[in-house]
Amino acid sequence: MNDKLSAFIDAVYREAYSLVRNNCINKSLRIKAKAEELGMRADLICCIAIVPVKKWHNFHLASPHVYTEIEGERVDVAHDPRREMLWCKNSEIKAVMPVNISKMKRAFYRRAGLRSQILRQG
């Protein structure tokens, strides 16, 4: 991965997690935008996350989750270092039923573009 992108990802990872302002969705969108700015292919992946919570003796919690995939490599920075001590490391989050949101968006726009062309011709 690009050094500039790696430094950006590390900076985003170190930012404190906030359910409202700086959650997995916001962090992933920023990383995706930066990767695309640098000319890399990036996708947003939505899934159900199974998170072992260390604080509660590895009780497993299921919740919706979003992460970025850059050129096939998973980049998950949802938890900041302090939160990782209480919950789990980002690499320990299990993704169940991952769905590539970016592919769905591209397919939708491609389909919508064809429909608008047909309507213009008719």
Q: How far is 2 from 75, CA to CA, in rounded Å?
A: 13
| Model confidence at 116: pLDDT above 60 | no
Instruction: Report, as an integer, the average pLDDT of 15-28.
Output: 91
| Model confidence at 62: pLDDT above 70 | yes
Range(s) of the domain holding residue 42: 3-121
Provide the number of structural domains found in the chain. Answer: 1
Instruction: Please give the C-alpha separations between residue 116 and each of 33, 105, 106, 108, 113, in angstroms, as whole numbers.
Output: 27, 16, 15, 12, 5
pLDDT of residue 47: 95
Instruction: Report, as an integer, the average pLDDT of 59-79.
Output: 93
Whole-model pTM?
0.80
